[in-house]
Amino acid sequence: MSRGRTSTRIQYAIFPLLLVSASSGAQNASPSSSDHPQEIIIQLVEQIKQLQQQDHDLQERIKNLEARQPQTSPVTQADPASPSIPPQDAEQTAPPPAPPAAPHDWHAERGIQWRGFGELNYKVLNQRKPELGTYGFVPGSAGNFYTGDFGLFLTSRLTAKASVLSEIVFQEGDAQSYSLRLRRMLLKYDYSDHLKMSFGRYQTNIGYYNWAFRSAAWLQTTADRPLVMEYARNGGLLPTQAIGVSVTGAVPSGKLGLNYVAEYGSSDTIRPDINGDGGLNDYNNGNQVNVGFFLRPEAAHGLQIGASFYHDKISNFDKGPSIREGESIVNGYIVYTAHGIEFLNEGFLIRDAALDLRDDVFNTPAFYSQFSKQLGRMRPFLRYQYVNASPNNLIYDDVGLRQGPSFGARYDLNSYIAFTAQLDHTVRRGEPDLNGLQLQLAFTF
């Protein structure tokens, strides 16, 4: 195959040479010779013979070189950490001084595969009354730099169906201290497309965002997560992680593209108040169950519609250490991601009992909507988010009503580094509006 192409390229190269030689021959021809076209033809035939001989010699040299060349890797494994190697012409390839390379092992997929995600942020707010500082942001400051999450993601295939996945995160805290978190640790067993099981610490599949972006800032369009999808440890409203078993798979449904998710595990969420009062909410969740489905209809490529229902029990320490109150979270979403468009729409209803002596039940609605469009390297975006928690709800009294738009743009410097600038305007009940600017450099490696 490669010899055939080489031969073709040599033939292609001969024609311009013929043209040049013919034109130069014409220029050099003496007036007397131009009177004898037969001689010109004889000269050209001679030149063609010479070129054929040269071609033959070149073929021989290529054969000799190829015979000497050691067998090298025929295929490159796509590796996001290194750009694809373009094919090289045989004519451009220098004769290898090559040390003998080991033949490529097509099945070499064992071992641990690493990937990393990092970010550098700068945030400034127009209100200096401190709110919760997350990811290293110093609350109450006029503006400061912080590194957020630095994540190391590793996978290892054990057998054709079993693998291990782990996500280790170094998260910046107060005074540039770093805490180490095992955000995910899963033993995965994919029996088939209809049954994929994961055992260990997983991110709950409540909603789309948690599934799609996990914890990597580089994967997100915006500089931060919507508040409702923020990690509970950073003030988010949902139990985002659990230890247990998660099962997912495709349901035979033809062109409907129906998939299911079922999870059963233990959560123990501790959520800090986000209003900066330093309070901690210990949910002391029990075992949680989360079931959901999503559709990816073939007729509308890029469209995903899903819903989930989550339930667990939270301790009511005011009534007694053994008193448990129910918490349920209903989620629904419609998402479109194709043709450079990203249109995310998710709604939540969190229903829980007041954690005091009364028997009140509170519903906390929340949603976000995000639209972005890829324009070359740039992806401008607009997001609107809304959370409305009752001031009497002791779990979310620090949240209250928060709503407002965020807009900005992500610029991909290359396939591994992205810069995002984002402006936020947040309307808060009983508090002055909050305006913020976030600048983020996110990368993967």
Partner 1 sequence: MGVKSMLAGLLLGLALLSLAPPATAQAGDMAVVVSPANPATNISLGDLRKFFAGAKTSWPSGLPIKLITRAPGCMERLVLLKLLAMSEREYKQYWTAQVFRGDADAEPLTVPSVGMQKEALKVFPGAISLVNIADVKPGMKVIKVDGHLPGEPGYPVH
Residues 93-122 that bind partner 1 (CB under 8 A): 106-107, 109, 113, 115, 117
Using a 10 angstrom Cβ sphere, with 0-12 exposed, 13-18 middle and 19 or more buried, the burial of residue 6 is: middle
Residue 219 as a binder of partner 1 (CB under 8 A): the answer is yes
Residue 338 as a binder of partner 1 (CB under 8 A): the answer is yes
Residue 91 as a binder of partner 1 (CB under 8 A): the answer is no
In single-letter form, the type of residue at position 421 comes to A
Residue 76 as a binder of partner 1 (CB under 8 A): the answer is yes
Angle at which helix 37-68 crosses helix 2-28, to 10 degrees, equals: 150
- Residue 442 corresponds to which tokens in the numbers above? 């996110």
Number of residues that bind partner 1 (CB under 8 A): 71
Beta pairing, strands 417-428 & 287-295: unpaired
> What distance separates the 2 farthest-apart alpha carbons in the chain?
119
Among 190, 325, 356, 431, which residue sits at the site for partner 1 (rule: CB under 8 A)? 190
Residue 77 as a binder of partner 1 (CB under 8 A): the answer is yes
CA angle, corner 186, sides to 184 and 189, nearest 5? 150
What are residue 349's DSSP bridge partners?
330, 365
Residue 430 as a binder of partner 1 (CB under 8 A): the answer is no
As a whole number of angstroms, the distance between CA 429 and CA 444 comes to 38
Smallest distance, Å, CB 161 to partner 1? 9
Residue 31 as a binder of partner 1 (CB under 8 A): the answer is no
**Shorter beta-carbon distance to partner 1: residue 86 or 320:** 86
Residue 2 as a binder of partner 1 (CB under 8 A): the answer is yes
Residues 263-292 that bind partner 1 (CB under 8 A): none
Smallest distance, Å, CB 196 to partner 1? 9
Among 22, 185, 401, 421, which residue sits at the site for partner 1 (rule: CB under 8 A)? 22
Q: Which residue has 């009940």 as its token pair? A: 429
**Shorter beta-carbon distance to partner 1: residue 165 or 382:** 165
Among 31, 32, 67, 86, which residue sits at the site for partner 1 (rule: CB under 8 A)? 86
Residue 340 as a binder of partner 1 (CB under 8 A): the answer is yes
Smallest distance, Å, CB 381 to partner 1? 14
Residues written for the chain:
445
Among 67, 339, 357, 359, which residue sits at the site for partner 1 (rule: CB under 8 A)? 339
**Shorter beta-carbon distance to partner 1: residue 146 or 218:** 218
**Shorter beta-carbon distance to partner 1: residue 34 or 53:** 34
Q: Which of 245, 238, 332 is nearest to 285 (CA)?
A: 238
- Residue 106 corresponds to which tokens in the numbers above? 């097509």
Residue 209 as a binder of partner 1 (CB under 8 A): the answer is no
96 backbone φψ class: left, alpha, beta (φ>0; ψ -120 to 50): beta
Smallest distance, Å, CB 180 to partner 1? 19
As a whole number of angstroms, the distance between CA 45 and CA 38 comes to 11
Residue 410 as a binder of partner 1 (CB under 8 A): the answer is no
Residue 8 as a binder of partner 1 (CB under 8 A): the answer is yes
The answer to whether the CB of 373 falls within 8 A of the CB of 380 is yes
Q: Which residue has 């004889």 as its token pair? A: 42
What are residue 291's DSSP bridge partners?
262, 309
Smallest distance, Å, CB 362 to partner 1? 33
Residue 247 as a binder of partner 1 (CB under 8 A): the answer is no
- Residue 253 corresponds to which tokens in the numbers above? 């449904």
Residues 34-73 that bind partner 1 (CB under 8 A): 34, 37, 40-41, 44
Q: Which of 368, 306, 373 is nearest to 338 (CA)?
A: 373
Using a 10 angstrom Cβ sphere, with 0-12 exposed, 13-18 middle and 19 or more buried, the burial of residue 35 is: exposed
Among 57, 79, 318, 433, which residue sits at the site for partner 1 (rule: CB under 8 A)? 79
Transcribe 109-138 into DSSP letters: --SEEEEEEEEEEEEEES--S-----TT--
Smallest distance, Å, CB 397 to partner 1? 34
Using a 10 angstrom Cβ sphere, with 0-12 exposed, 13-18 middle and 19 or more buried, the burial of residue 334 is: middle
Residues 342-381 that bind partner 1 (CB under 8 A): 374, 377
Q: Which stretch binds partner 1 (CB under 8 A): 56-64, 83-91, 131-139, 280-288?
A: 83-91
Residue 192 as a binder of partner 1 (CB under 8 A): the answer is yes
Residues 140-159 that bind partner 1 (CB under 8 A): 153, 155, 157
Residues 288-307 that bind partner 1 (CB under 8 A): 296, 298, 301-302
